[in-house]
Chain A
Amino acid sequence: MRTAFFGGVYSNWVALEEALRDARRRGAEAAYCLGDLGGFGPHPDRSIEILRESGVVTVQGNYDDAVGNMKTDCGCGYTDPRDNHFARISYAYTVEKTSAAHRPWLAALPERLSFEHAGLRYVLVHGSPRQQNEFLWESATPDHLLESLARDAAADVLLCTHTGLHWQRLLPSGRRVVNVGALGRPANDGRTCVWYALLDTEAEEPFRFVPVEYDHERLAREMRAEKLPEEFAETVLTGWWTTCLEILPVKERLRGRF
């Protein structure tokens, strides 16, 4: 069985379309989205419509909960004033530009999904099973915590996103945790591609991360036309994060430029 897992679309509808094409090309029979459809990018309705039309089963992210329920902020969990400044701009834009018709759909998305295949239970969440906006960073999440989160969620394989950076870990118990990364913006590595996770249950290494090259210049043009912050366009064009840096643990921070 081949299945694609997407996270953090952040209104990057150009990358979403390309990722869906790529996953089909690689023989994926199904695709799941782990939430946060809006924020950062332009025209939030487009990503929602692509997902709804293509039948991608979607987990609710904190952004979807916030936009769907018209909350006062995105609930991303930043504490730094600069990060909050950009988060507010992004959230106000996304709320304004998301059609009222999509809000009930966003609000009704499930916080958790699961399925079984070949005797393994896969559990899909946005942040963590215990908190929708919990950041599970590679360098800041201990094995013992992942073991207990997966065990409590009855997951043999736990899939999450929310951080925007992809990684996976096979735990001492044999359980696996996969942070599927984000389609919405690059992985702060100086490359303009974005990433998703592809499961191939027949392969020796069941999960691999797939880079998606897409027309990032088009996305940046649309961001500028929508008067979104230049810092966002810069990230799309350079592959380096310019905002949301305060939340990065030191190992991840030192891999970036800013």
Chain B
Amino acid sequence: MSGLVQLRPPEVRFRWLDALWIQVTGTLCNIACKHCFISCGPKADQVPMMSTEQVERALDDGRELGMRQVYFTGGEPFLHPELQRIARAALQLAPLTIVTNGLLIDDGAVGWISEESERSRYSFDLRVSLDGLTAEQNDPVRGRGTFEQVVVAIRRLGRAGLSPVVTVVEHEEGLASSEARARFLQFVRDLGVRQPRVKFLPLLRIGREERRTHGYQDHGLVQSTPLLPEVESSLLCATGRIVTAQGAYTCPILIEHATARLGDHLTDAARPIQLRWDACQTCVLDGLRCNT
């Protein structure tokens, strides 16, 4: 290897904590999407579910660090047996977004979300995944029958006057074109959602997605590109961290990578990180921002 210059990964300094992500159900999910970047599923236990105490500890640490907003993610957060308790604990401190596949949002869940949204001083958002305008477009990646079930859930939320953010992963070419964006927005509006919002996310070529298509092919792209200060300061890892049952990590994408683990607790994670993973190119070069 002599003669090769080893490039040092760019460093991202930790500015402050805007987004505290909490991996409440670990990798446990009721479906196994083919493009999932952390290989979640009904039998996926590589990252365990968090206990209520662990979530409360993360929230306390987040408050200490001045967090601005909390995200519950997984896996599927609605599988957490104490979801209502931990959501209320979060909402007492800060705005909360639950990132969900929507399949467990029945009438009871809608009633609870409405009540909690009404009660809380802070915004309570839901992000519901829908990866196509038809079953033919959505179901091959999210699983048979999921389109119909999610559409029912979104209608149910809309009827209750709630306005979930629908998130769409660009798993096929053209899914996030300006025409497609307008069609999605109208589709969600037609489901009865007031003031709809649709958030498009680029594909992350890690986890199960690596097997569906392929992983990142240009290795070292981030390392060989100068990191502009305005890009650095806008990256999730400049102002966000994730806590799992296994410790605190750089960002939600990287919880299966031991090298992204920053310590046992959130308070250990308030320090600079290096952009050393191939997936970093999706944030640095494609502009992925996970915040709602």
Residues of A at under 8 Å CB distance from B?
79, 81-82, 130, 137, 139-142, 144-145, 148, 245-246, 249-254, 256-258
Asked if A144 and B66 sit within 8 Å, CB to CB, the answer is: yes
Q: Which of A130, A148, A251 has the most CB of B within 10 A?
A: A251
Q: Which of B66, B123, B163, B197 has the most CB of A within 10 A?
A: B123
Asked if A144 and B123 sit within 8 Å, CB to CB, the answer is: no
List of B residues within 8 angstroms of A250 by Cβ: 117, 123-125, 163, 165
Asked if B124 and A141 sit within 8 Å, CB to CB, the answer is: no
Given contacts A81-B181, A142-B93, contact A245 B69 (CB under 8 A): no
B288 CB to closest chain A CB (Å) equals 10
List of A residues within 8 angstroms of B63 by Cβ: 142, 144
List of A residues within 8 angstroms of B194 by Cβ: 254
* Of A139, A245, A254, the contact of B122 (CB 8 Å cutoff): A139
Bound-complex Cα distance A82 to B63 (A): 34
List of B residues within 8 angstroms of A252 by Cβ: 123
A85 CB to closest chain B CB (Å) equals 9
* Of B95, B163, B181, B197, the contact of A140 (CB 8 Å cutoff): B95
Closest to A258 in B: B195
Closest to A77 in B: B234
A94 CB to closest chain B CB (Å) equals 20
Asked if A253 and B289 sit within 8 Å, CB to CB, the answer is: no
Given contacts A249-B95, A250-B123, A250-B125, contact A142 B195 (CB under 8 A): no
- Asked whether any CB of chain A lies closer than 8 Å to the CB of B68, the reply is yes
Per-residue CB contact flags for chain B residues 67-86 toward chain A (1 = under 8 Å, else 0) read: 11100000000000000000
Asked if A142 and B16 sit within 8 Å, CB to CB, the answer is: no
- Asked whether any CB of chain A lies closer than 8 Å to the CB of B42, the reply is no
Given contacts A130-B16, A250-B123, contact A142 B67 (CB under 8 A): yes
List of A residues within 8 angstroms of B181 by Cβ: 81-82
Chain B, range 56-70, C-beta contacts under 8 Å to A: 63, 66-69
Asked if B123 and A249 sit within 8 Å, CB to CB, the answer is: yes
| Count of A-B contacts judged by CB separation below 8 Å | 58
A65 CB to closest chain B CB (Å) equals 13
Bound-complex Cα distance A253 to B181 (A): 19
The dominant DSSP class at the B interface is: loop
Asked if B123 and A139 sit within 8 Å, CB to CB, the answer is: yes
List of A residues within 8 angstroms of B163 by Cβ: 250, 253-254
- Interface residues on chain B, size class: 20 to 34
Asked if B95 and A246 sit within 8 Å, CB to CB, the answer is: no
Asked if A79 and B289 sit within 8 Å, CB to CB, the answer is: yes
B61 CB to closest chain A CB (Å) equals 12
List of B residues within 8 angstroms of A246 by Cβ: 197
Extra contacts, 8 of them, besides A145-B66, A250-B124, A251-B123 (Cβ < 8 A), are A140-B69, A140-B122, A141-B68, A142-B94, A245-B197, A249-B95, A254-B194, A257-B195
Asked if A139 and B95 sit within 8 Å, CB to CB, the answer is: yes
List of B residues within 8 angstroms of A144 by Cβ: 63, 66, 93-94
Closest to A73 in B: B230
Bound-complex Cα distance A139 to B125 (A): 11
A153 CB to closest chain B CB (Å) equals 13
Bound-complex Cα distance A51 to B95 (A): 37
Bound-complex Cα distance A254 to B193 (A): 10
List of A residues within 8 angstroms of B125 by Cβ: 249-250
- Asked whether any CB of chain A lies closer than 8 Å to the CB of B178, the reply is yes
Asked if A81 and B178 sit within 8 Å, CB to CB, the answer is: yes
A-B contact pairs, 28 of them (CB 8 A): A79-B289, A81-B181, A130-B16, A139-B122, A139-B123, A140-B68, A140-B95, A140-B122, A141-B68, A142-B63, A142-B68, A142-B93, A142-B94, A142-B122, A144-B93, A144-B94, A145-B67, A145-B94, A245-B195, A245-B197, A249-B123, A250-B123, A251-B117, A251-B122, A253-B163, A254-B163, A254-B195, A257-B195
Bound-complex Cα distance A253 to B95 (A): 14
